[in-house]
Amino acid sequence: MGVERIERKFADLKAQGRAGLVTFTTAGDPTYDRSLRLLKGLPKAGADIIELGMPFSDPMADGPAIQAASLRALQAGMTVHKYLDMVRAFREGDQDTPLILMGYYNPIYVYGVNTFLKDALEAGVDGLIIVDLPPEEDAELAVPARKAGMGFIHLATPTTDAARLKKITAHGSGFLYYVSIAGITGTRTPDLASVKRALESFRGKTDLPLAVGFGIKTPAHAAAFAEFADAVVVGSAIVDLMAELVAGEENLANSEAEAKVLSFVKELATGVRRARQKA
């Protein structure tokens, strides 16, 4: 399906007159089986789009929470092949929810770009967010991805001006991910008014839906951004909660920990879905 599934989801959200909730979890955190159970529960909890992090040992955009999640997953034996197996297992029960890989280029380069795109599309991946490939490197992966039908989501930041935005959107597809803070994930709280002004300045310059992420941690916070963004991304807060439950779960059943994470996602989704009703 590829980028078509992402485009179809945003069309549905627009028809419903609401923003979407994008959740981030790390594949294989804390183990393959538990990560897969959580992944399968996210759509029912209210995730409209799923970002699944591909664990990487040398991240450049991930904050402490996601760095720790990547280490847990790698120590549990997560690999790119297992990642794709997880996506295949998810697709056995869900053909509707867009699933996007967020990670870094090195594992894909080693796998082989064309082979990876073929295998990822076959598994059920719909889009890629590859943090360390700026638009100047679009020929490496963004252009081949678009030719293959895979979405390729670029990042824009508070320092992105009109000229840079033109470069960023030239080969982007699916949506544009606005990084709401100048920094790594989950380390600062974004300023609502500044983000709103930035998104207003982007509209008219691109037809891509605009998603906001980095630093959004609570249901109320997600709801505030959902009043004007096309989608709200929550990652570190979900990963942090999973880490807390894993660390303190000596007497907590695995299923109970995952249920607590999914309950938090439901709260986020409720806030996002009601945001424009109150606006």
Query: Annotated catalytic sites, by residue?
Result: 51, 62
Q: What is the dihedral of CA 11, 167, 119, 47, to 10 degrees?
A: -40
**Distance between CA atoms of 132 and 130, rounded to whole angstroms?**
6
Distances (CA, A) of 201 to 29, 156, 160, 165, 197: 37, 12, 11, 10, 6
Q: Count CA atoms closer than 13 A to 99's CA, side-chain side.
A: 29
Report how far residue 96's alpha carbon sits from residue 78's, in angstroms, rounded to the nearest whole number.
25
Question: Strand 155-156 and strand 151-152: pairing?
Answer: unpaired
Looking at this protein, which amino acid is placed at residue 163? A
Measured between alpha carbons, how far is residue 148 from residues 46, 61, 131 in Å? 29, 26, 20
